[in-house]
Amino acid sequence: MMLLTPHDFLVELHARGADRVRRVVFRDTRSTIFSLTRYGRVLNLNAAFAAAPPELLDAFAVVAKTGARRTKAYDRAVNAIRNWPPLVEALENARARHAANGGRRVGPRLAPCCGTPEQQAYLRDLYARLNQACFGGRLPPDIRIRLSNRMRRRLGQIRYDDAGPERAVLEIALNVDLMLRANDEHRLETMLHEMAHAEAYLLYGERGHGPRWRRIARRVGCEPRACSDVRIARRRRRTDPVTRVPPPERFLPDGTPLPEPEPEPGPRPAVQACPGVDRPKAGGSAAPGMEHANGVLVRAPESQLDLFAACMAGL
């Protein structure tokens, strides 16, 4: 079988009307399937798609033309891409090679936070208060929260750890424009949105905006939809710094008062995984361009295990 080069793949997309894509990149990864970056102009693909048949090229053309808009045609195309047998085999082989190499990996790249120390302290406090008020303190207490000045359409994004022995969340990143005064409501909504992703992944292994995530989003009071569908105020120039530190939130989106976090008696271990649940074999289509943050994985203490079990039984 003749393999497609990135240029060949791009030509096939243009022949199918996906003219917005200007570049195709093949990546040899263990979990990433595809992502559209640079306003839909760059299509990042798992290297297995170099052998894509015509019907799969049709599916990628649909994805490229619809972008982030969720339609029935888009969903059908994504399902066809995810369930392509050679892709599943390629992902399993990549993970087997990684395991045979002792599970070693190069230290993750750490994207800088563009926020000030005061903004970072504000975000850590907001995360802790929402964790207590909406998630029962079940989420890991030390997930990295950072501000990004590189996001254009996205309001926030979450990064999962695909290399460790257990499910883990490495970081939550928020668009720095959310710190503007006009975006106070959207900032709280986006933080809840991403924290709901963390719970859906740690408890169920679900990525994206699936049924379990939507159920969690409704429970914690945020809109069960993609953040990219929301318009927010923007800086006049992308090079303008954002240094504003918002006042502490007093209410949740539904008007419920947001309590102060309860003081903890001592340091807690960094619980970054849902113990006892194997990582799913097939990866989601989460964007690969987000950088890692360093984290240490430890198992949950008994009290955390009880909380996880109660959450799984009650959701």
Question: What's CA 66's distance to the chain center, in Å?
Answer: 20
Take residue 65 and report the two structure tokens written for it: 């033309």
pLDDT at 158: 94
In a domain, 55, yes or no: yes
pLDDT at 156: 93
Distance between CA atoms of residues 59 and 296, nearest Å: 39
Q: Specify whether 129 is located in the same domain as 241.
A: yes
Q: What is the dihedral of CA 143, 272, 190, 183, to 10 degrees?
A: -10
For 223-255, b where at least 16 C-beta lie within 10 A, e where not — what string? eeebbbebebeeeeeeeeebeeebeebeebeee
Q: Specify whether 249 is located in the same domain as 135.
A: yes
Predicted TM-score (pTM) of this structure: 0.55
Indicate the helix (H) or strand (E) that contains 78: helix 72-82
Q: Specify whether 207 is located in the same domain as 170.
A: yes
In a domain, 106, yes or no: no
pLDDT at 37: 78
Per the structure, the complete domain to which residue 264 belongs is given by 117-314
pLDDT at 29: 80
Distance between CA atoms of residues 214 and 256, nearest Å: 20
Q: What is the 3-state secondary structure (H, E, C) of 214-238?
A: HHHHHHHCCCCCCHHHCCCCCCCCC
Is residue 193 within 8 A of residue 181, CB to CB? The reply is: no
Per-residue pLDDT tens, the chain, 315 aa: give them. 678 999 999 999 999 999 999 999 998 887 778 888 777 888 989 999 999 999 999 999 999 998 766 788 888 998 999 899 999 888 888 888 777 776 655 556 668 999 999 999 999 999 999 999 999 998 999 899 999 998 888 899 999 887 666 788 999 999 999 999 999 999 999 999 999 999 999 988 888 899 999 999 999 999 888 766 678 999 988 889 999 999 999 999 888 898 775 554 555 444 444 444 444 444 444 333 333 333 333 333 333 334 444 444 554
pLDDT at 219: 94
Partnered with residue 259 across adjacent β-strands are none
Q: Specify whether 206 is located in the same domain as 73.
A: no
pLDDT at 111: 84
DSSP 151-179: -SS-SEEEEEE-SSSS-EEEEEEEEGGGG
Strands 156-161 and 42-46: unpaired
User: How many structural domains compose the chain?
Assistant: 2
Which residue from 284, 269, 130, 146 is spatially nearest to 206, judged by alpha carbons? 284
Boundary-marking domain end, from 100, 125, 154 = 100
pLDDT at 303: 34
pLDDT at 253: 87
